[in-house]
Amino acid sequence: MNKIWLIIKREFITRVRKRSFLIVTLLVPLFFAAMIVVPILIATNSKEEKRIAVIDDSHLFMNRFPDDKGVYYKYLENTSVDSFQHKYAEYGYSGLLYIPQLDIERPSGVTYYSDAQPGLSVESKLTRRINDLIEEERLKKANIDAAQLKAAKADISIEFRTGNEGQKGSAAVAYGVGYASGFIIYIILMFFGMSVMRGVMEEKVSRIAEVMISSVKPFQLMMGKIIGIAAVGLLQFLIWVALIVSVQLILPLFISGDAVAAMNEGNTMMQGGSNAAMVEAIEKIQFVVGSVNWTAVISCFVFYFLGGYLFYSALFAAVGSLVNEDPTDAQALTFPITLPIIIGIMVMISSVQNPSGPVAFWGSIIPFTSPMVMMARIPYGVPGTVPYWQLALSMSLLIVGFLFTTWMAGKIYRTGILMYGKKITWKEALKWVSRKA
């Protein structure tokens, strides 16, 4: 026990002391923070003004170009497009919108001239404005009162409640949380699994393995490495959680309400809804996010993170012990292990869309895929979407599963770690499992 502790300590300390640990631990949240902050900053700072000249040969839309946020229209009369399309810049316009003689039923030929690409928001504003105008003309032609039509339009939202207690939930939020958790588990399995494999390979190739094995049991050496790396992963995870929490506490101090409003505005521009509707939607999301059972999600996440890691890392360790000097061996040998993980992520993607279907059910029960697939289902609600018995079955099978893979990998590892100069296949390695020491 003392020895395995020494091994865990060494694995943990050598990894945490590495510069790459610090870099990854700090860069990953920085990356995510940048993904959130940069769009806000862009939305805040891109208050560039555009003055657009309008030449309307159809004479239908005179003075029906009210100024839009940041975009100012100037309706020019008695100006020829042929001459002005080369001169608008001299008059201080950023662009020229030209509307030819229009057949209201089949409008075509509306053109926007500018030096630079007008940008997505200007494009969508122009398109919307022209479409609105043509719609109005058509309504007028059909003798429909525009105001009446607007009043008749419905815009309600349905409240979705799931489970016996009528948990309030939103499929979109559950989808997002489920997808993200499943995907993070996938990355953890791959990243830390490979890390275990590389560690074992290093011990084998540098020939330290035999020196070690003369002091400790192979199983202690393998488990020490697996647990040590798990501790590194948990530490990293805890640092990230701490960072996220502190950023959430600090962020509001830096980003003023102005910027948040600007971001809302940005979204509004893109999606074309009215501002009020957008604000309402954001409020709704905030409400729903609050209603997700975070305790269940986070505790299950830690369980499936550790369970899945233990399940697969032992197998990765076994592969590492089979590899000889030739690193290309590793690719062929890891394939049978990465395959179920990749199948798992595909099942996860389909399950997150249909969390109660048979694919989702079986995927979340079988230990090969359950860490990813179950995490995709849990945000939809426990026990609403995932009954307690399914969760219990999945968790017990995962525990049985990792005990089994660890036992099996230990057998392979013990033989493989001391075997040099020979290419070993999985078929051979599996024979060792049934052999005694």
Min separation Cβ 254 and another protein, Å = 40
State both tokens at 187.
Answer: 């990355």
Chain-centre distance for alpha carbon 7: 35
Residue 176: other Cβ atoms inside 10 A:
16
236-241: long-range contacts (C-beta < 8 A, 24 or more apart)?
Answer: 236/21, 236/24, 236/25, 237/305, 239/25, 240/25, 240/28, 240/29
Decide if 416 contacts 322 (C-beta within 8 A). Answer: yes
CB of residue 200 to another protein, shortest distance in Å: 13
> Nearest distance from residue 326's CB to another protein, in Å?
12
In the complex, least distance from residue 23 CB atom to another protein, rounded to whole angstroms: 16
- We find the least distance from the C-beta atom of residue 410 to another protein, in angstroms, to be 15
Give the distance, in angstroms, between the CA of residue 168 and the centroid of all CA atoms in the same chain: 23
Residue type, 55: I
Angle between helices 171-205 and 275-291 (to 10 degrees): 60
**Shortest Å distance, C-beta 331 to another protein:** 21
Let me know the angle formed at the C-alpha of 326 by 321 and 329, rounded to the nearest 5 degrees: 65
SS (H, E, C) 67-99: CECCEEEEEECCCCHHHHCCCCCCCCCCEEEEE
What is the smallest separation between the CB atom of 416 and another protein, expressed in angstroms? 10
Token pair belonging to 351: 């399950």
Nearer to another protein, 143 or 214 (CB): 214
Closest CB to another protein among residues 117, 214: 214
**Please, which residue, 10 or 141, has the CB nearer to another protein?**
10
Give the nearest distance from C-beta 356 to another protein in angstroms. Answer: 49
Which residue's CB is nearer to another protein, number 16 or number 212?
212
Smaller CB separation from another protein, 367 or 416 = 416
Distances in Å between the alpha carbon of 433 and those of 12, 416, 426, 430? 29, 11, 11, 5
Is the Cβ of residue 145 or residue 210 nearer to another protein in the bound state? Answer: 210
Comparison of 224 and 355: residue with beta carbon closer to another protein: 224
Is residue 347 packed enough to be buried (19+ CB in 10 Å), middle (13-18) or exposed (0-12)? buried
For residue 3, the minimal CB distance to another protein (Å) is: 6
**How crowded is residue 256: how many other Cβ atoms within 10 Å of its Cβ?**
11
Output 57 or 325, the one with its CB closest to another protein.
325
Q: How far is the CB of 421 from another protein (least distance, A)?
A: 3
What's the CA gap between 367 and 354, in Å, rounded? 20
Q: Residue 11 CB, nearest distance to another protein (Å)? A: 11
Task: Give the strand pairing for 50-56 and 95-99.
Answer: parallel
Q: Quick one: DSSP state of residue 160? A: P
Q: Considering the complex, state which of residue 164 and residue 214 has its C-beta at the smaller distance from another protein.
A: 214
The residue ranges that bind another protein (CB under 8 A) are 3, 6-7, 10, 14, 202-203, 206-216, 415, 418-422, 436-437
The nearer residue to another protein, 215 or 354, going by C-beta atoms, is 215
- Compute the distance between CA of residue 313 and CA of residue 193 in angstroms, rounded to an integer: 5
What are the Cα distances from residue 218, in Å, to 7, 78, 110, 203, 435?
12, 91, 76, 12, 16
The total of other beta-carbon atoms located within 10 Å of residue 374's CB is: 31
In the complex with another protein, the residue whose CB is nearer, 215 or 286, is 215
Query: Cβ-count burial of 234 within 10 angstroms (0-12 exposed, 13-18 middle, 19+ buried)?
Result: middle
